Structure 1
Amino acid sequence: MPAHPDHRRAIPGVDRLLARPWCHRLAESHGREWVTARLRAVLDQVRAGRHPLPASEDGYAELLRGEIAAAGTPSLLPAVNATGVILHTNLGRAPLAAEAREAMARAAGYGNLEFDLGTGDRGSRYVHCTDLVCELTGAEAALVVNNCAAAVALALTAYASGKGVAVSHGELVEIGGGFRIPEVVEAAGARLVTVGTTNRTRLADYARAIASDEVGAILKVHRSNFSMTGFTEDAGLDELVALGAETGVPVIHDLGSGLLANSDQLGLPDEPTPAMSVAAGVELVVFSGDKLLGGPQAGILAGTGAGVALAKAHPLCRALRCDKVTLAGLEATLALYRDRDRAMRRIPVLHMIGATVDGLEGRARALAERVAGQRADRGAAPLAAVVSRGRSVVGGGTFPDARLATAVLEVDAGDAAERWMAALRAHDPPVVARSRQGRILLDLRTIAPDEEEAVVAALASLEGAG
């Protein structure tokens, strides 16, 4: 019997294809060396059977263009958050205010990051944002590093490296990514000293730990990502500060969430703020820039001048410092809080939390009508879509018990739900929604008004409806 022909023998060589006019044009546009590498990748895929063998040499043009487009697509893409989770960690947490985005774009070039324009001498990046943090929290001094966990690690390293850190057993929390407070303490070169029990920790428990062990700091951790009810007891922040003053042990408050607005104004349960921690007299309060504050990723330390100076002087501070773009975005976000009403309007996180369900429902109905109109114009079958009430969450490890009444556009996808969800994610820009029992759920609370057109286009392009 004749041998089965090897299709790989029909694959042309790299040089032969590079000589084709279409390949020559691609090389001129993208660079010959890079296009050659992409062409080799295409040929490897054809040899491996991942692409069908083109009928002619010109058939490789389409494969190469696809390879170039895929390789040139950034890995980090903007997306529409239709999940109803406002601080969605996987989608980048807080979307930034327009003022923050503009400030970050301006800071992308040369600037006075570490240059004193008055004297012409070298300056310090640590002066940026600090006046605003102190103004808004009442702190004597402040320091900005690249995230909240880094800020906690820096504070503990500065105060308690080689010593103990007293933490309530009920505050040994786990944050996103599986990181836990005991691990952060260990990474700071400190020794964990747990006090009390899971549900009840008294001031006397801290006092005993300080008396019996070399404790360098008391760490009070805000349980922002879970709640505890029932037979519980906690030592108050004021009590801990008084104990610290008596024993010479500083109190560091890991607040995490970083709310600077009034929780009542947002319709949310009471939430401690950095200003409250500073007023209580803690040595340092630590909070995030990209959670409830609504800015870029950052960790902020605020408190006494001595506490901030000690953290700033530690060598670890340099390894954790922020870049100029982050500082610019954070400064612009903080400046909006000088007018709290303006902050509610301009900072997307606060605006989303404060949106009324009636307003969201009106937007959902208008969006559904636009989708129906576009599908009719395309000659596509209408979607089985209804507007219903649902519940949004704040997310980002904050307000674990809060549920915000919202309006949801429900699309009955049936057996096509998984395929349609994939199609929405593949849209440009991607639309990330939720699905439940064959229904696709799009929550208007986390869809910005200027993103509605993209959502309409994505829904209008779904195939196989009806």
Structure 2
Amino acid sequence: MSVLFRHLPSMDRLLRHLEADPELAGRPRAMLRDLADGFLGLLREEIRSGALTAEDELALERMLPRLTAFVRLKSRPHFRRVLNATGVVIHTNLGRSCLAEAATEAVIDACRNYSNLEFDLATGKRGSRYAHVEEILCRITGAEAALVVNNNASAVLITLDTLAKDREVIVSRGQLVEIGGSFRIPDVMRKSGATLVEVGATNRTHLRDYENAVTENTGMLLKVHCSNFRIIGFTKEVPLAELVTLGRSRGIPVVEDLGSGNFFDFARIPGLALSEPTVPQTVASGADVVTFSGDKVLGGPQAGIIVGRKKWIDKIKKNPLNRALRIDKMTLAALEATFRLYLDMDRAREEIPTLSMITASADELRAKARSLAARLRRELAGRASVSTRPGASRVGGGSFPEYDLPTTLVAVDPAAPVSVEALRAALLAVDPPLVGRVEEGSLLLDPRTLRRDEFPLAASALIQGLDSAGPATERH
């Protein structure tokens, strides 16, 4: 064992090799040194365990390929690109909505250069960062005023804190939702200092329930759109317009949390049975304040958007919390570029990836699946059988929870001895990782969320995955 330890390559020799590798160019020397030291530690452990027993196995030329692979793997950024073949368009765990090209370019421009973030070019004095998006937001929603914070949870929090702190907020019992990460409406309300007043039953709430609950200490009527679940059967909820009438008669603001902000009328697309209220429709119904997310169905960056009547929005703007929840220049740039696309709905559908994916036709998806399957058969060369089958996609992000979107799936069944589960796990370690889903014994890839220009990357990922999922002797 001591002889084997003396045959370990020196740190200097390992570093010279790593620094000469063009694929590792730009890695700091300190990082390479740490990784080389980690590789040597791995070799020492293999010597101690008896996994390494021969001196020639420690020869530098034998070690270099393994060293390079080790360093490339360990030096990759922790946060990186993933290929989404799950068919879930707004995949919360994979970053939700992808930005339109125009929004991406706007973010890059905002990052590379100085900007008029808080500088009024008309007066040469300090300006407001929110002015960059408020006008266009009011134009496309029909609202009198608007404000943007860093996510919709923040939008709900600051609205409650401003309009109902130390007062009562009336909510239907069936709308006390919990979304991802154990975020619950009652918890946010408690944090804001408001007191929750539940009315109605889980499945049925009437206008009289709200009327009977109103007191001199009522600060808000809150309607929460149940975007991530449905109660079906013997149900009833009070239409927003009726709540608005009640609120106006009692001088109480009516707030609707839409959750997933939607500007596109999906009913206009043949065969697409998606029906949700849009933001402009909700504003037109008379809600005093409407809150929604920027990175769900809207298809923009993470943001919490607040629109409504000027008298209430102005109060929210003055809340000291606004400073803590404000958005940065990159979010502003992406939002403005995304909102500009919505000035032309046909262009928005074409250029905003979220809308384009949701509204993709059955024929388009069938053609994409056949193209992907043909490529995989050619490149996998018999290492897996590849076929297509009908299936379903999901919108995701808590939106349209009960709707399946028809699609055509590509099924990949690896040849023995590689199992489907082993392949699925191996695909998470390749570069870039490929995330699909396993159903009925097959790895399924949904072309709805995989762009055509990503097909070569998907094929490469599968080759890498099959290589690493095979027996150790085969891999060596």
* TM-score of the aligned structures, taking structure 2 as reference length: 0.88
Aligned: 1:249 with 2:252: yes
Q: Which of 335, 338, 341 is the matching residue for 2:346? A: 341
SS at match of 1:167: strand
- 283 and 21 in structure 1: CA distance in 2 versus 1, 3 angstrom threshold: closer
Q: Which residue of the partner structure matches residue 16 of structure 2?
A: 22
- The more displaced of 184-193 and 390-399 is 184-193
SS at match of 1:371: helix
Aligned: 1:82 with 2:76: no
- 400 and 122 in structure 1: CA distance in 2 versus 1, 3 angstrom threshold: same
Q: Which residue of the partner structure matches residue 375 of structure 2?
A: 370
Aligned: 1:283 with 2:288: yes
Q: Which residue of the partner structure matches residue 474 of structure 2?
A: none
Paired residues for 1:30-429 under 5 Å: 30-49=27-46, 55=58, 65-66=68-69, 68-109=71-112, 110-211=114-215, 214-266=217-269, 267-375=272-380, 380-381=381-382, 383-413=384-414, 416-429=419-432
Instruction: Summarize deviations over 1:422-460 as a string: whole Å, max 9, x none.
Output: 233333222111111321111111111221221233335
Determine what percentage of the aligned residue pairs are the same residue: 44
SS at match of 1:129: helix
- 391 and 34 in structure 1: CA distance in 2 versus 1, 3 angstrom threshold: closer
SS at match of 2:393: strand
Any conservation in 2 of the 1:391–1:403 contact (CA below 8 Å)? yes
Distance 2:5 2:403 in 1: 64
Give 1:216 deviation, angstroms.
Answer: 1.5
Distance 1:93 1:174 in 2: 18
Aligned: 1:442 with 2:445: yes
SS at match of 2:255: strand
Distance 2:430 2:159 in 1: 44
Instruction: Summarize deviations over 1:180-211 as a string: whole Å, max 9, x none.
Output: 11111112122211111101111121122222
Instruction: Summarize deviations over 1:42-89 as a string: whole Å, max 9, x none.
Output: 444445559966725787766765554344311121111111111111
- 427 and 165 in structure 1: CA distance in 2 versus 1, 3 angstrom threshold: same
Distance 1:361 1:160 in 2: 51
- The more displaced of 382-391 and 435-444 is 382-391
Give 1:358 deviation, angstroms.
Answer: 1.6
The letter of the residue matching 1:304 is R
Give 1:259 deviation, angstroms.
Answer: 0.9
Any conservation in 1 of the 2:155–2:291 contact (CA below 8 Å)? yes
SS at match of 2:300: coil
Give 1:413 deviation, angstroms.
Answer: 3.3
Distance 1:20 1:399 in 2: 54
The letter of the residue matching 2:280 is A
Give 1:36 deviation, angstroms.
Answer: 4.0
Any conservation in 2 of the 1:18–1:24 contact (CA below 8 Å)? no
SS at match of 2:130: helix
SS at match of 1:128: helix
Distance 1:432 1:218 in 2: 42
SS at match of 2:356: helix
- 34 and 369 in structure 1: CA distance in 2 versus 1, 3 angstrom threshold: closer
The letter of the residue matching 1:412 is D
Give 1:373 deviation, angstroms.
Answer: 2.2
Distance 1:168 1:86 in 2: 30
Distance 2:396 2:13 in 1: 55
Runs of at least 5 residues in structure 2 that lack an aligned partner in the other structure: 472-476
Q: Which of 440, 448, 452 is the matching residue for 2:455? A: 452
Give 1:19 deviation, angstroms.
Answer: 7.4
Give 1:32 deviation, angstroms.
Answer: 4.7
Give 1:38 deviation, angstroms.
Answer: 3.7
Runs of at least 5 residues in structure 1 that lack an aligned partner in the other structure: none
Distance 1:460 1:20 in 2: 29
Distance 2:397 2:37 in 1: 44
Instruction: Summarize deviations over 1:152-204 as a string: whole Å, max 9, x none.
Output: 11111111112221111000011111211111111212221111110111112
Any conservation in 1 of the 2:291–2:304 contact (CA below 8 Å)? yes
